[in-house]
Amino acid sequence: ENAVRQADRVLLATDPDREGEAISWHITQELLGHGLLKGRAVQRITFTEITQLAVERALWAPREVSAQLVDAYLARRALDYLVGFNISPLLWRKLQGASSAGRVQSVALRLCCEREVEASKFVPEEYWSISAQFGLPGNKAVSAMLSRADGKKMGGMAIKDQQQAQSLTARIKAASFQVSDTQSKLQQRQPAAPFITSTLQQEASRRLGFGASRTMQAAQALYEGSEAGEGLITYMRTDGVQLSPEAVQAVRSTVVSHFGPNMVSQEPRVYKSRVKNAQEAHEAIRPTNPRLTPDKLPASLSSDQSKLYRLIWERTLASQMRNAVIEQIGVDFSNTDGSLVLRATGSSVKEPGY
């Protein structure tokens, strides 16, 4: 209150989402209720990265609190009241130790129940697959799977029981094989889009073993700057995969300086969300300064923050790098009369790309 009394203008810079807009609206209502806004302008500013340039741009473009975003927040709050306030007491009576239910938990529970029903209806079917090791020069070996027998494909669930599997195995052991066919083709593999909230959580779980809350705590600290002076990544709650033109240019320049001009894609890559109803109000999650490599991070960062920053930095740079070229190789081994065919497959990187 003292700060408001000493100011000519009030700037509200809460998070750039519905909840942030609602917080700004609530603050405005509280100040109005205390009679602190007489003769003072109240304006809303937003930025998706805590850097000097981003804050300065936001200060040059203030606006009013968005009534539509506030209405959206109020609608969500109404759903919480209508659903959560009715279901939670029932949950407390029926399930000891249950905390709460609401518009999110209830839908998630239904999805889990529907999947459980599908799983309970599953009827297991027996099937077998057969592989063999073929010797190669230099004491090497390659594994091949039975792909055809007597003119029939043996993939998937073609071998139904143990008796059929043992009969085919005996025939393979008694036969002599030679290479009957080879195929080779080149495939281009594109880099993945920059992270959104869900893909960041998935990749952090897969590569770092982080849970969702652990990931978001580290991301929040990186967004706020974590004693670095400025924010290190952009806003981490987003479903947009796009990058601003300035960010794309900075990322491509960093790729050239770190990996050479041949490693950047010929044209800037433009990503669009495949998710229906994605709002894409914010950029993808990216470093605020791509030139800040993981090796140059402030020593004050925790291990979790450093690991997560490296993950985000690598994904962002990869998104503007050239495709990788992969050679897919297939080799068929056939017995003398061609009634048995085993196939070995492999791949090798011809051009590393991203």
Which member of 73, 223, 235, 309 is catalytic? 235
Q: Is 235 a catalytic residue?
A: yes
The type of residue at 14 is T
Location of structure tokens 């009957």: 180
Location of structure tokens 């009013």: 64
* Residue 36 CB-half CA count within 13 A: 17
Question: Are 149 and 339 contacting, i.e. CB atoms less than 8 angstroms apart?
Answer: yes
Bridge-based pairing state of the strands 9-12 and 41-44 = parallel
Looking at the annotation, which residues are catalytic? Answer: 235
